Amino acid sequence: MPVLEAKARAKLNLSLDVLCRREDGYHELRMVMQTVELCDTLRLETGTGEPLRMCSDLGFLPANEKNLAAAAALRLCEAVGADPKGVSIELKKSIPVCAGLAGGSADAAAVLRGLNCLLELGLPPERLAEVGGKVGSDVPYCVWGGTALAEGRGEVLTALPALPQCHVVLCKPPFSVSTPELFGRIDSVRIRCRPDTAGLIAALRRGDLAGVARRVYNVFEDVLPERRAGTVREVKNTLIQNGALGAGMSGTGPTVFGLFDSLEAARAAYELLRGRYQETFLTRTAGSEFA
Tens digit of pLDDT for each residue in 60-87? 999 888 999 999 999 999 999 988 888 9
What is the Cβ-side half-sphere exposure of residue 128, based on CA atoms within 13 angstroms?
A: 26
Residue 28 neighbours by CB under 8 Å, 6+ apart: 18, 19, 20, 21, 22, 151, 152, 153
More confident of the two residues 139 and 26: 139
List C-alpha distances in Å: 57 to 41, 71, 93, 161, 266: 11, 18, 7, 36, 29
Question: What's the domain range around 49?
Answer: 3-159
- The pLDDT > 90 percentage for the chain reads 84
Q: Is 138 a catalytic residue?
A: yes
Q: Give phi and psi for 172, each to the nearest 5.
A: -105, 110
Residue 291 maps to a domain: no
Structure confidence by residue, pLDDT tens digits, 249-290: 999 999 999 999 999 999 999 999 999 999 999 999 999 998
Q: What is the mean pLDDT of the chain?
A: 95
The Cα 72–Cα 133 span in angstroms is: 10
Question: Quick one: 152 and 25 in the same domain?
Answer: yes
Q: Is 236 a catalytic residue?
A: no
Q: Which helix (H) or strand (E) holds 203?
A: helix 197-206
Question: Quick one: 114 and 181 in the same domain?
Answer: no
Question: Quick one: 72 and 97 in the same domain?
Answer: yes
Residue 37 maps to a domain: yes
The CATH number for 219's domain is 3.30.70.890
| Residue 89, SS3 per DSSP | strand
Residue 64 maps to a domain: yes
> Which residue of the set 11, 93, 172, 236 is catalytic?
11
- Residue 142's identity, in one-letter code, is C
Question: Quick one: 129 and 193 in the same domain?
Answer: no
Report the domain count for the chain. 2
Structure confidence by residue, pLDDT tens digits, 86-123: 899 999 999 999 999 999 999 999 999 999 999 999 99
What is the Cβ-side half-sphere exposure of residue 281, based on CA atoms within 13 angstroms?
A: 20
pTM, whole model, 2 decimals?
0.95
The CATH number for 143's domain is 3.30.230.10
Q: Band the pLDDT of 1: cuts 50, 70, 90.
A: low
> Which residue of the set 93, 138, 172, 236 is catalytic?
138
Q: Which helix (H) or strand (E) holds 106?
A: helix 103-118
Question: Quick one: 18 and 105 in the same domain?
Answer: yes
Domain stop point among 159, 181, 212: 159
DSSP characters for 52-73? -EEEESSTTS-SSTTSHHHHHH
Residue 141 maps to a domain: yes
Q: Give phi and psi for 190, each to the nearest 5.
A: -90, 120
The Cα 139–Cα 150 span in angstroms is: 11
